Every structure is written in C-alpha cells, then in structure tokens.
Amino acid sequence: MTDVTIIADADDAAVAAWLEQVLVRALAAHKGPVAITIPGGSTPFPILARMDAERVDWSRIAVWPGDDRDVPEDHPASNAGRIRAALEPLGAKVIALSGGARPPHFALTWLGMGADGHVASLFPNTDPRADDDPAVRRLVPDPLPPEAPFARLSLTIPALLDSDALVFVIRGAEKRAVFDAAVAGKHDLPVARLLKAAHQPVTCFA
C-alpha cells in the first residue's frame, strides 16, 4: 500500500483549493487535455462550486464519473447529468459511463466512500478485484440504497487506479473509522482492496 496523507477537519474551501493546485499542475505538465474522474452524490458539488474557474482551464479537462446510476441523464439521480450541469458551462467535456467504455489514464481520481466501505459503486456484495479485467462493470448493490435504488455502472479498481493521484473526501466519524481501518489493513472491504493495490499518492480529507 502506498502512503496515505490524512487532512482532518478540512472544509469545502480547503478541498477546492487543493484540487485547484492539482489540476493547475497537471495542465501545466501536459500540452493537451487531461482527464479526471470524480464522484457523484452530494459531496462534490459544493466543492466544485468553490473552485476558481479563472485558475482552472476546464476546457482542457475531460471529466468521467467514477460511477453512475443506470438511469437517463435527465433523471435527478444521474451523476453524469449533475456533473454535466456543473462543469460543461465552464468548458469541461463530461463523458458518461457506458458498458464498453475505455477510460483514459487520469491525472486525478477523486473518490468518496460509504459507511459500508464502498467506493464508486463497488459495494461489498460485488466482490471487486484489483485484477478485474473490464474497466467498467454494471453492478447491482445488495442491499439497494433506499435513496438510490438503481443498478449501477462503475469504474473498476484497475480503472480507478490508472491515475497519477487519488483523493478521498469523506465526512463523519463513522466513515473515518472505516477508512482508518482500511489503511491499517483491518478489513477487506472495497476501500481496503483499492488502497492495498494503490501505487500512487493518496490524500484523504476527513
């Protein structure tokens, strides 16, 4: 497992400033476009709103959801739809997940984590593997989360780890305990499997 840096008590503005720095460096290091993957749910959008569009040239950034609900993009539960609404006006190119997608190498993989240790839509019942072959899988969480009772499309562990850096943004003591236990190798939940296979710097805002 790679080293993990945990930054405690960071607010949305602090996370946004960190992301800006990472993206500015990535854009400076490459002449062409760069790709990132970001989570859905409620956490990323207040952070994205805090980022300075004058510092980040979103027109050179392709944005992939790390996972999505298997619903049309105009459905309120669609991660791609929400990401598109937030970032396409700034010039970003948003790529919706599909079963045969071939995601690129990412400059940054941004992840959340559930209290059950799931990352993207790699829930414990889906038995995610670090050597999974497809980059995208269609999965059905069991149990289905009542707030989003849909089948999912998710990047697999190898696709998520095809990245220069990983960042987690997690909220609450319960999730922090699950993450800390994963770092310590005390369980085999999806987040622990991903961290065990990670080779790049990992930052966790908690």
pLDDT-derived band of residue 54, with 50, 70 and 90 as boundaries? confident
Distance CA 32, CA 45 (A): 26
Residue 103 counted as domain residue: yes
Residue 120 counted as domain residue: yes
| Residue burial 92-129, b: 16+ Cβ < 10 Å; e: rest | bbbbbbeeeeebbebbbbbbbbbebbbbbbbbbebebe
Residue 206 counted as domain residue: no
Scan for tokens 């999505």, then name that residue: 68
Residue 27 counted as domain residue: yes
The CATH code of the domain that includes 59 is 3.40.50.1360
Q: What percent of the chain has pLDDT over 70?
A: 99
Scan for tokens 């959340």, then name that residue: 112
Residue 205 counted as domain residue: no
For residue 89, pLDDT beyond 90? yes
CA 4-8-12 angle, 5° bins: 110
Distance CA 127, CA 112 (A): 18
Residue 188 counted as domain residue: yes
pLDDT in tens, 20-45: 999 999 999 988 899 999 998 888 99
pLDDT-derived band of residue 123, with 50, 70 and 90 as boundaries? very high
Residue 77 CB neighbours (<10 A): 16
For residue 7, pLDDT beyond 70? yes
Domain of 91?
Answer: 4-200
Q: How many domains does the structure of the chain reveal? A: 1
Distances in whole angstroms, Cα of residue 92 to Cα of each of 102, 106, 113: 19, 15, 25
Summarize the confidence of residues 77-97 as an average pLDDT.
Answer: 95
Distance CA 17, CA 153 (A): 29
Instruction: Give me Rg for the CA atoms of the chain.
Output: 16
Residue 183 counted as domain residue: yes
Residue 82 counted as domain residue: yes
pTM: predicted TM-score of the whole model, two decimal places: 0.94
